[in-house]
Amino acid sequence: MKSTARQAWWKAEGLRPPDWLLTRTEVCELFGGNKPINPSTLYRGIREGRYPRPVKVGPGSSRWLLGECEAVLQAMLNHRI
C-alpha cells in the first residue's frame, strides 16, 4: 500500500497506532506541516537530539515510530514561547 493510501486508510478508520512505522517522507511531512522539512534538516536534528532516531528495518532502510514522532512534536508544542 502506498504511503498516501495508507495514511488515508488510518485517518478514515480513526486509527493511529503508536507502533506504526513512518517513512522519511512522512516524518518530514509530520514535522513540517504544510511545508515538509528537508531530509537534511531531519538528520541534523537527529544528530542534535531534536528528532527521534529511526529504526533500521533492513540494509539501507529506516523507519520512524509514529508514537515517538508524535511525542517529540507534542513536546515541541508544550515548550514553545
pLDDT confidence band for 1 (50 / 70 / 90)? very low
Which CATH architecture group holds 18-78?
Orthogonal Bundle (1.10)
Task: Indicate if the pLDDT at residue 3 is higher than 60.
Answer: no
- What average pLDDT does this structure show over 23-48? 95
Q: Which three cell numbers stand for residue 51?
A: 528528532
| DSSP helix/strand/coil, 33 | coil
Task: Indicate if the pLDDT at residue 47 is higher than 70.
Answer: yes
- What average pLDDT does this structure show over 30-45? 95
Q: Which residue has the cell 480513526?
A: 14
pLDDT of the residue at 20 = 85
pLDDT of the residue at 15 = 61
Cβ(80)–Cβ(38) below 8 Å? no
CA 9 from centroid of its chain's CA atoms: 17
- What average pLDDT does this structure show over 14-35? 86
Separation between Cα atoms, residue 13 and residue 60, nearest integer Å: 31
